[in-house]
Amino acid sequence: MEFNLENIVRKNIWNLKPYSSARSEFDLYSSGKNDLTLLDANENPNNSSEFRIQSSATHNSELLTHDLNRYPDPLQSAIKEELAQQKGVAKNQIFVGNGSDEAIDLLYRIFCEPGKDKTLICPPTYGMYEVSAGINDVEVLKVPLNSDFALDVEEILKQVQDDNGIKILWICSPNNPTGNAILKADLKHDWQAQNYTRGGMMDMPFAPQFEAELLENQRQLDRLFGNFNGIIVVDEAYQDFTENMSFIKRLEDYPNLVVLQTMSKAQGLAGARVGFAFASPEIIELFNKTKPPYNVNELSQQAVLKALEHQEQTKTDIQEIINNRDVLATQLSNFDFITEVYPSEANFILAKVENATQVYNYLRDQGIIIRNRSSQIEDTLRFTVGTRMECEALITALRQIPANAGI
């Protein structure tokens, strides 16, 4: 099936003339021109605001003296330039949004006619796909994950081929709340990452069973993307905590692919609310024409730039979280009332817990806030991986559950 972008975009969006500021038309933010008289946007000419911002990468407080009386760069040019180098894509393949949630909402606005079109999710998964669909009056169809939290590709293909009203398929990988990677961009790359970087030989041959798995994975990807004339969104919010290759590397292969990432997790900027979408230039152009003109504020843009400058510190922070995850998983598995600790490639752990709600309420009363996921997967709790001290506080609290607590 040949993918046709125009056929699946809402006609009013395809024909939309976007809001354009004088500075966008002048290309102010990438022109390098600083000595300009700015009389176009009805701003206050007096800049009296100075703010200190804590860099998550350097842990130092830095004074921001940027002109907060001026509107921020509407297309976040400096961020895109840095990201393009780090991710190996072109600047026009990047959308910067007010958190990934803005990108999720815009995808519905761009591709789904309210009250007519549908979307497909694979529960248990991130709840905002369904919430945002409801806000945009888009019907939600569901193909649940298998019992081992694997993607049911055959049922997905059946659904999208039987119903041409399905415009968007959402795949969260690594998945929230299960923690596993449910879609692999390239098993060959993943195998090399897991073996060569641990001292394996570069010319080490693949085992025959892995060769078959590799070919089958590629066949499934081609079937999935090639047989759906809609948008497939791979949400990689937790990509930094897995060794699997990012789907950003497959953008050239699949024109209907959109990849979401965020600054909220590995970079520790959840409060800044900045997320990214990576896609073809044509899809990114639709994002930019549909979004509000100044969707990411100046303070958040500067915080992102500071964090992106310190890649080595971010890598150190990620490894610390992974180490804490491994320790926490081992400790959780030692409790008799925790019957299963699921493998995780994210910065959280899902566990099956007897009397999960009682345990959740007990921890809440001790001032330890976790996530009760029993409404999605029976008797499960999700534990975010905190600092080593926070993890120890959790384990200590679990050890001190009173015998008469009914747990």
Q: How far is CA 175 from CA 350, 357, 358, in A?
A: 11, 22, 25
Check residue 199 and give its pLDDT: 54
Give the C-alpha separation, 315 to 241, whole Å: 10
Give the C-alpha separation, 118 to 114, whole Å: 9
* Residues 184 and 317 grouped into a single domain: no
What is the mean pLDDT for each group of 10 consecutive residues in the chain (407 residues)? 91 90 68 69 73 52 65 93 97 97 98 98 98 97 97 97 96 98 87 61 63 88 95 98 95 97 95 97 97 94 94 94 97 97 97 96 95 96 97 96 74
Q: Is residue 71 included in any domain, yes or no?
A: yes
Question: What CATH number does residue 272 fall under?
Answer: 3.40.640.10
* Residues 272 and 203 grouped into a single domain: yes
Query: Residue 264's beta-bridge partner residues?
Result: none
Q: Do 52 and 72 meet the contact criterion of CB atoms below 8 Å apart?
A: no
Q: How far is CA 132 from CA 8, 95, 149, 231, in A?
A: 19, 19, 23, 16
Q: Do 89 and 280 meet the contact criterion of CB atoms below 8 Å apart?
A: no
Q: Which residues contact 402 (CB under 8 A, 6 or more apart)?
A: none
Cis before 205 (ω within 30): no
Q: Do 230 and 111 meet the contact criterion of CB atoms below 8 Å apart?
A: yes
* Residues 135 and 199 grouped into a single domain: yes
Check residue 54 and give its pLDDT: 53
Q: Is residue 12 included in any domain, yes or no?
A: yes
Number of separate domains in the chain: 2
Check residue 374 and give its pLDDT: 97
Check residue 42 and give its pLDDT: 82
Give strand ranges (E) for 218-305.
231-235, 257-262, 275-278
Last residue of one domain, picked from the residues 265, 281, 309: 309
Structure tokens at 247: 């789907």
Question: What CATH number does residue 331 fall under?
Answer: 3.90.1150.10
What's the whole-model pTM score? 0.91
3-state secondary structure of 270: helix
Q: Which domain holds residue 295?
A: 5-309
* Residues 298 and 316 grouped into a single domain: no
Q: Is residue 405 included in any domain, yes or no?
A: no
Give strand ranges (E) for 30-125.
51-54, 61-64, 94-97, 118-121
Q: Is residue 407 included in any domain, yes or no?
A: no
Last residue of one domain, picked from the residues 279, 309, 339: 309
Structure tokens at 26: 């002048």
Check residue 206 and give its pLDDT: 64
Q: Is residue 70 included in any domain, yes or no?
A: yes
Give the C-alpha separation, 240 to 248, whole Å: 13
Q: Is residue 404 included in any domain, yes or no?
A: no
Last residue of one domain, picked from the residues 309, 331, 350: 309
* Residues 223 and 305 grouped into a single domain: yes
The angle at the Cα of 376, spanning 372 to 380, to the nearest 5 degrees, equals: 45
